Amino acid sequence: MITTDFVPGSPCWLDLGAPDVEVAAAFYRAVFGWRAEPYGDQGAGGYSLFRLDGKVVAAAGPLTEDGARSAWTIYFHTPDADVTVEAVARAGGAVRSVPTRVGTEGGRFAQLTDPQGAEFAIWEPAGHPGIEAVDGPGTLGWTELYTTDPAAARAFYRAVFDWRTQDVPLPGGGGTYTLLRPADCGEDRVHGGLLGVPADLLGPAGRPYWHPVFGSADCDASVGLATGNGGRLVMGPETVEGVGRLAVCTDPAGAEFVVLMPQELL
């Protein structure tokens, strides 16, 4: 369960790097009902907040790194960005951007990469703790890492965030899925999962990656909206016992996300 009571290591923000922010905004408005709002004094096409029922649920901005592909970035809460960046470097990760302040009261962020190549970010809040709505239709409800080396990934993120992990068997004998939660939190604060995936199933680059899981009141309807507005269906929809009905999709620029209709709504 993701909450807006952010603690160290919990997901607290997410944004989309897009080749065309306005095109992305139109797509996610059609699929989830999000409304785009330029951040600060940036005009259309710059960094924008996505709101649902008036609450910030995500953001999007132009691609800024050379060779970057369109993708969602998950940010994890930290009380001290410098300390976390140092932990990443000690654990074998890479620092793509050093801690940088947003405005005068917005907090600081840093862009990072784990040793297997999965990109993520951290957020040290000041005036803005993070997203304002989670765990419902059209909002972030889970985060997921596809990695080529689950054991190494578990060790890395434990060293950086002190996450607690729990391995559970996948349905049908399909392997093991690792549940992730912040330190000193109970099982009700599990915020994501980690899955071992062969490199040849991770796209052309074969690089591990994080993706967001968004809630849906009707998975099949959400898939229809995604594919009907230029997105692509990658997997599903399928019903997973004890989880719900889910599908993996991409937006028109290729950024991957999952839609999940939880078990209790089936």
Q: HSE, CB side, 13 Å, CA atoms: give it for residue 10.
A: 25
Domains, the chain, in order of start with CATH, read 1-266 (3.10.180.10)
Which amino acid appears at position 110 of this protein?
A: A
For the chain, state the CA radius of gyration: 17
Q: How far apart are CA 130 and CA 230, in angstroms?
A: 29
Helix (H, G, I), strand (E, B) or coil at 76: strand
Beta pairing class for 35-38 and 48-52: antiparallel
Q: What is the pLDDT of residues 48-107, one digit of tens each?
A: 999 999 999 999 999 877 777 899 999 999 999 999 999 999 999 999 999 999 876 779
Q: What is the pLDDT of residues 1-29, one digit of tens each?
A: 788 899 999 999 999 999 999 999 999 99
Measured CA distances, 233 to 157, 174, 181, 236 (Å):
30, 22, 29, 7
Sequence-distant contacts of 160-169: CB under 8 A, at least 24 apart:
160/84, 160/87, 160/88, 160/91, 160/93, 161/8, 161/9, 161/76, 161/84, 162/8, 162/9, 163/9, 165/194, 166/190
Q: Phi and psi at residue 219, in whole multiples of 5°?
A: -55, -50
Confidence of residue 43 (pLDDT cuts 50, 70, 90): low
Contact criterion met (CB below 8 Å) for 81 and 99: yes
Report which of 156, 164, 151 is spatially closest to residue 120, judged by C-alpha positions: 156
pLDDT at 164: 95
Residue 198 has pLDDT above 60, yes or no: yes
Q: What is the pLDDT of residues 142-195, one digit of tens each?
A: 999 999 999 999 999 999 999 999 999 887 777 899 999 999 888 889 999 999
Sign of CA dihedral 197, 247, 214, 34: positive
Token digits for 243? 């989880």
pLDDT at 45: 66
Q: What is the pLDDT of residues 108-134, one digit of tens each?
A: 999 999 999 999 999 999 988 999 999
Q: What is the DSSP letter of 134?
A: B
